[in-house]
Structure 1
């Protein structure tokens, strides 16, 4: 491939371009090291955006239809605000009293590097720390005391451990040109598109004008589903026609059933849990929907109506736990209240735990997804990943590309910085778990074991993500491991998952940002500064917001006690309560092998490992049939893993919008799609977030006019009913 003409020939002969074609086509091989990066504007805009994103995403986390404000919103909004500051702030240098150090409020035009670093700082607030679930479970579901200090330290130590782990693998997973992180290229491309000087096309709007038009429209419309007519978040017409039929409502309910014909007229229904469908490639949308249809509309009904695992005694779709009589399982009956641990005798006297049909099968597909991801990555990417890993671990003079050469102009991050973070976080983790009267239940060896799990899996998972964009989570593995080793301790199970799977997730996230900074030619120490500060700020705000909401909203997470129209139903937290009861209290040995009702679900591990093999063989036999390689079993098998809290109505609404924009509009109106698609997504996100905040604070504890449309459900009250003869559940007919 010819060298780029932007470099003189003598220089070009000495410089190796990236060995990855996608990088060569996306990332420029030029850099201007004189551009100001870590500026006053970076700190003011980045910290403000980080704080707002942290607060909003944590605040909306407990709602029935969660609203997620992505960092894409910050990426788009920060650019015009930064340019306004560049035009209006004074340029005169300011001297710090008592020193010779000076800085400027306005060092020049708001440049692309400054924009990228400010967005990365803001992005630290785009997620909710998983460790907050421990606070929710302790305070709301188990009604146990947890002090603010251990909760605060738990959140910060799990996040900071992830950053320490990331630093250990920075040379291999960031500086290596063979670790190219495909999804980072999308972000880099979008930064370049936004920072190109844009003139308004004749008869059209600029991206910024279009963004504000969408924002105002989304803000105005969201008063309807959020306050005036919440029922349009899930419209299930079959239930309206067959009001007295349990089976019809099981089939038609988008909230508590299979959701045939159900959809929502609310952007939070479409994008709140599954992410914006406008940002997903078409092959992912199709794979996920095909898997969803196979699991929900073929396998689940067959299992239910053949009465697998006594399925008809329970709802067809639910994340609740049930006893042998079809009633909701009373966890307090098998929990030693004094020592807060599993009571084996009480469990034997009461009942085994039962899942709904769908939920039981979904565990199996979760097991299959783990092994399918490993198998798929090994078959389709194994050879190339292994070659790249050997080369990347070799002589940096041979593996370095133009981007590494350009980054040598900047001071690297000393490795001992990361080691200090890792060791200090580990020490604080020991202190947090061992002190405070065992409120977290996890002993110090549990922290060490979790760290060992991360150290074993981080490199292979990081290589897979960095080269193939296939993500493998460790959630189920950590739950299984600690469930077998330390059963009967629900909070310990979640704490172990936080220090294991969640720390690994955070490490991968930090490595991704570091690679983004590498491509954007941002000084590494500036990246280090904004990530550390952003992490501490966002974690603190997330903690404070969660503690405030859980302490002030009366009957939060208890739908039966909430007033009509109240959004504080906590669907995610209710699912996590089921998880802590399953893996933490009862333990996998009583649920699965060797003593559980669902012991044969472990066969799904084998199913997942074998599933990608036929696709790989067909792709080798027919190399010209490129569509074969798009059959992606990790996505197919994992399509329903987030159900619940995701429901059928979320999936169908997400699919329809995603297919419309990424197939029909992409093909027929490609120029419009290229110009406005991502901007449309950001405008819809921020519009509903602003309206939800306004109504929450302006109309505190007032949830709308009482009428039929105020109900947050889909008016399918019989969808949760069993169909087995003789099972008597409140509000349900008894079959004979």
Structure 2
């Protein structure tokens, strides 16, 4: 089949740029919907077929060369469709470096060099591709690494390209998708515009309107979320992705970890006043001083040098965190350590066996054998060349432009080394569970100790270390999709490379536009009522830069800080997989024991914040229902329609949100003025401190 056709390039680049724009656009909203490439996968099929039916097929000669190409080399085929989807995948993953731009411009209120900012977004996205080639044999060729997220797209490719006879009294999968898309599209105008309060409903708050404790327990946005739920797909899938596309055992592990954290650990810690927890909100990503007030950053950050002011810090206050934020960091430490020990215990022998087989080229299944028989592999030097070029540009980005990034060259080298070490163990977790433990906290910790007092250096190091690993895994995941669909590896490589450059540019341009055009973006207290531009993820990123970059881990989690005991979580995480491993060895006939995954359980709630309790509760309820109840009772329906349902819901929400913004909200046309227009759960007291003498804001004072 023709692969890199005119249709592939035009539809691929267009969909990549469009999806990048949409995802960056949504990332600044209260429920940042992640629009996956599945939506593009559906949308481009009729367009591709239309191009095949209308474009001329006569070859076009390229002047002064022997090369020619055709606008229409024949029917729109499956492999073109897959490569267009790979383009779209590049546009759906996000550009982490944009958080740095947002933190500097929107929160720190400083300017950034345009060229440095653009290079930062490009190099952080491309760096990981340089060593992805090292792990192809283990994470792509291995039949044990199946990458669950790819099954959504494989299922859809089958639905869209295979001839399917409509069941009597039923619908085809494509018809089902269109029904779901239309329904989701029409419904989303309600939670997105007319009745925004149903994005988070908290019954407890509606009953006990003047009780701080009751609202702390019941608020799905600022509390424990008991009795909270949502009637909005963007709330359900906004932070954790579609629950329909996550394996049932992974959902169960996540909800167990979430339940232990939210309903055992946090209540005990808060109501025993651990770390003066009652001085601060029970759930918040912000930083506070010793008096329970928002931390005055101007006291500890020199505005001229953009570096830590130790004298001001000593005369002011140590940084304090909400009890939930404290334990979020502790569990991040535990998750990282548990990932290493879990992989060593449960997969160590397999990795060693695969390593030996890889050197003898004996690893693989039918897919691998077919790929090796029919296609030439990507030469290893291609990966090496990318690494050398991008690494040089990364050093230029950090050392050039007046050293605006604050990060020296050795920081870039260390970030690369960290990412290289963790790519394989975390890749195994991702390829088998659809969950990816991150390096964001450990990278902040390391550079915070080595190079404290420089917030921009901390953010840059974290991005180079964390995202280069994520990009390597993204590359490998797409390669696995191409593996399943029998796409020539060199074509895959080229599409991913071009797609990443296009996507990075689109993310950068969209962020720059919104940061310079939306007044008071990311500042919830200054935005109009009901405005969605609250930047939840960027808010957490900014506060993390204060904790790790400005003040530094030595004054937070070290000997000079309040939270040094959180370091014990490294030991807890390292030992946590051991009991499960012993039980599996002792009772091998008990199959469900193998499904207990401590890295997922410990890391279940690390997305909080910016995710909230209502996101987890709604996500878990939908995921458990479809992946256990529906799967068990209606297995045939689940196999045909589950992933298609997920794609339709995502696409409908995305299209309606964009239409609403450009047709109404962009012109300040608001909905009906009533209590349901507020984009909250009507729990105004949930953020109030309960310690004696700590008054909080005006709302809290009115109750006290």
Bucket of the pairwise TM-score, normalised by the shorter protein: over 0.9
Alignment of 1:485 with 2:450, yes or no, is yes
Q: CA deviation at 1:692?
A: 1.1
C-alpha distance in structure 2 between counterparts of 1:217 and 1:192, whole Å = 23
Q: CA deviation at 1:458?
A: 3.0
1:265 matched residue in structure 2 = 231
Q: CA deviation at 1:41?
A: 1.6
1:71 matched residue in structure 2 = 37
1:608 matched residue in structure 2 = 573
Give the one of 371, 375, 379 matched to 1:410.
Answer: 375
Three-state SS of the structure 2 residue aligned to 1:69 is: coil
Three-state SS of the structure 2 residue aligned to 1:732 is: helix
Q: CA deviation at 1:400?
A: 8.8
2:594 matched residue in structure 1 = 629
Q: CA deviation at 1:377?
A: 1.6
Aligned partners of 1:385 and 1:467 also within 8 Å: no
Alignment of 1:650 with 2:615, yes or no, is yes
Q: 1:262 to 1:153 in 2, by over 3 A?
A: same
Alignment of 1:330 with 2:296, yes or no, is yes
Give the one of 511, 514, 517 matched to 2:479.
Answer: 514
C-alpha distance in structure 2 between counterparts of 1:285 and 1:459, whole Å = 23
Q: Which moved more, 1:517-526 or 1:150-159?
A: 517-526
Q: 1:572 to 1:182 in 2, by over 3 A?
A: closer
Q: CA deviation at 1:217?
A: 1.4
Q: What is the correspondence of 1:358-437 to structure 2 with a 5 Å cutoff?
A: 358-392=324-358, 394-396=359-361, 403-404=368-369, 406-437=371-402
Aligned partners of 2:216 and 2:222 also within 8 Å: yes
Q: CA deviation at 1:178?
A: 6.7
Q: Deviations over 1:532-565 (max 9, x none)?
A: 1111111101000000001100000001110111
Q: CA deviation at 1:182?
A: 5.8
Aligned partners of 2:106 and 2:515 also within 8 Å: yes
Q: 1:55 to 1:182 in 2, by over 3 A?
A: closer
2:603 matched residue in structure 1 = 638
1:249 matched residue in structure 2 = 215
Q: Which moved more, 1:430-439 or 1:161-170?
A: 161-170
Q: Deviations over 1:429-469 (max 9, x none)?
A: 11111122222111122112212222333344445655776
Q: Which moved more, 1:304-313 or 1:177-186?
A: 177-186
Q: What is the correspondence of 1:301-340 to structure 2 with a 5 Å cutoff?
A: 301-340=267-306
Q: CA deviation at 1:190?
A: 4.8
C-alpha distance in structure 2 between counterparts of 1:206 and 1:691, whole Å = 24
Alignment of 1:729 with 2:696, yes or no, is yes
Aligned partners of 2:439 and 2:466 also within 8 Å: yes
C-alpha distance in structure 2 between counterparts of 1:712 and 1:189, whole Å = 36
Three-state SS of the structure 2 residue aligned to 1:124 is: helix
Three-state SS of the structure 2 residue aligned to 1:199 is: coil
Q: 1:41 to 1:597 in 2, by over 3 A?
A: same
Q: Deviations over 1:479-498 (max 9, x none)?
A: 11100000011111110011
Count residues in correspondence: 701
C-alpha distance in structure 2 between counterparts of 1:421 and 1:38, whole Å = 21
Alignment of 1:703 with 2:665, yes or no, is no
C-alpha distance in structure 2 between counterparts of 1:414 and 1:389, whole Å = 19
1:11 matched residue in structure 2 = none
Q: What is the correspondence of 1:133-212 to structure 2 with a 5 Å cutoff?
A: 133-170=99-136, 173-175=139-141, 181=147, 184=150, 187-188=153-154, 190-212=156-178
Q: Deviations over 1:162-207 (max 9, x none)?
A: 1122234445544566766565466545534542211222211222
Alignment of 1:689 with 2:657, yes or no, is no
C-alpha distance in structure 2 between counterparts of 1:297 and 1:472, whole Å = 22
Q: CA deviation at 1:397?
A: 6.3
Q: 1:459 to 1:685 in 2, by over 3 A?
A: closer
Give the one of 166, 187, 196 matched to 1:221.
Answer: 187
Q: CA deviation at 1:516?
A: 2.5
Q: CA deviation at 1:218?
A: 1.2
What TM-score, normalized by structure 1, do the two folds share? Answer: 0.91
Q: Which moved more, 1:422-431 or 1:84-93?
A: 84-93
Aligned partners of 1:175 and 1:404 also within 8 Å: no
1:9 matched residue in structure 2 = none
Q: Deviations over 1:604-635 (max 9, x none)?
A: 11111121211121122221111122222111
Q: 1:403 to 1:612 in 2, by over 3 A?
A: closer
Question: Alignment RMSD, CA only?
Answer: 2.1
C-alpha distance in structure 2 between counterparts of 1:135 and 1:404, whole Å = 45
Q: 1:672 to 1:723 in 2, by over 3 A?
A: same
Three-state SS of the structure 2 residue aligned to 1:642 is: coil
C-alpha distance in structure 1 between counterparts of 2:619 and 2:208, whole Å = 26
Aligned partners of 2:333 and 2:567 also within 8 Å: yes
Aligned partners of 1:323 and 1:351 also within 8 Å: yes
Q: 1:328 to 1:198 in 2, by over 3 A?
A: same
Q: Which moved more, 1:137-146 or 1:378-387?
A: 378-387
Alignment of 1:82 with 2:44, yes or no, is no
Q: 1:396 to 1:142 in 2, by over 3 A?
A: same
Alignment of 1:110 with 2:76, yes or no, is yes
Q: CA deviation at 1:408?
A: 4.5
Aligned partners of 2:287 and 2:319 also within 8 Å: yes
Alignment of 1:545 with 2:513, yes or no, is no
Q: CA deviation at 1:275?
A: 0.6
1:503 matched residue in structure 2 = 468
Give the one of 195, 217, 241 matched to 1:275.
Answer: 241
C-alpha distance in structure 1 between counterparts of 2:144 and 2:602, whole Å = 29
Q: Which moved more, 1:253-262 or 1:700-709?
A: 700-709
Aligned partners of 1:333 and 1:346 also within 8 Å: yes
Three-state SS of the structure 1 residue aligned to 2:127 is: helix
Q: CA deviation at 1:409?
A: 3.7
Q: 1:104 to 1:307 in 2, by over 3 A?
A: same
C-alpha distance in structure 2 between counterparts of 1:735 and 1:179, whole Å = 55
Q: Which moved more, 1:542-551 or 1:209-218?
A: 209-218
Aligned partners of 1:723 and 1:735 also within 8 Å: no
Q: Deviations over 1:345-368 (max 9, x none)?
A: 111111111111111111111111
Q: 1:171 to 1:368 in 2, by over 3 A?
A: closer
Q: Which moved more, 1:220-229 or 1:661-670?
A: 661-670
C-alpha distance in structure 2 between counterparts of 1:210 and 1:681, whole Å = 11
What TM-score, normalized by structure 2, do the two folds share? Answer: 0.95
2:414 matched residue in structure 1 = 449
Three-state SS of the structure 2 residue aligned to 1:559 is: coil
Q: Deviations over 1:207-251 (max 9, x none)?
A: 222212211211111111111111110111111111111001101
1:440 matched residue in structure 2 = 405
Aligned partners of 1:219 and 1:687 also within 8 Å: yes
Aligned partners of 1:407 and 1:523 also within 8 Å: no
Q: Deviations over 1:259-284 (max 9, x none)?
A: 11011111101101111111112111
Q: Deviations over 1:483-517 (max 9, x none)?
A: 00000111111100111111111011112222332
Q: Which moved more, 1:570-579 or 1:512-521?
A: 512-521
C-alpha distance in structure 2 between counterparts of 1:214 and 1:334, whole Å = 52
Q: Which moved more, 1:405-414 or 1:685-694?
A: 405-414
Q: CA deviation at 1:79?
A: 3.1
Q: Which moved more, 1:74-83 or 1:670-679?
A: 74-83
Alignment of 1:94 with 2:75, yes or no, is no
C-alpha distance in structure 2 between counterparts of 1:299 and 1:397, whole Å = 48
Q: 1:177 to 1:208 in 2, by over 3 A?
A: closer
Q: CA deviation at 1:418?
A: 2.3
Q: Deviations over 1:289-316 (max 9, x none)?
A: 1111111011100111111011111111
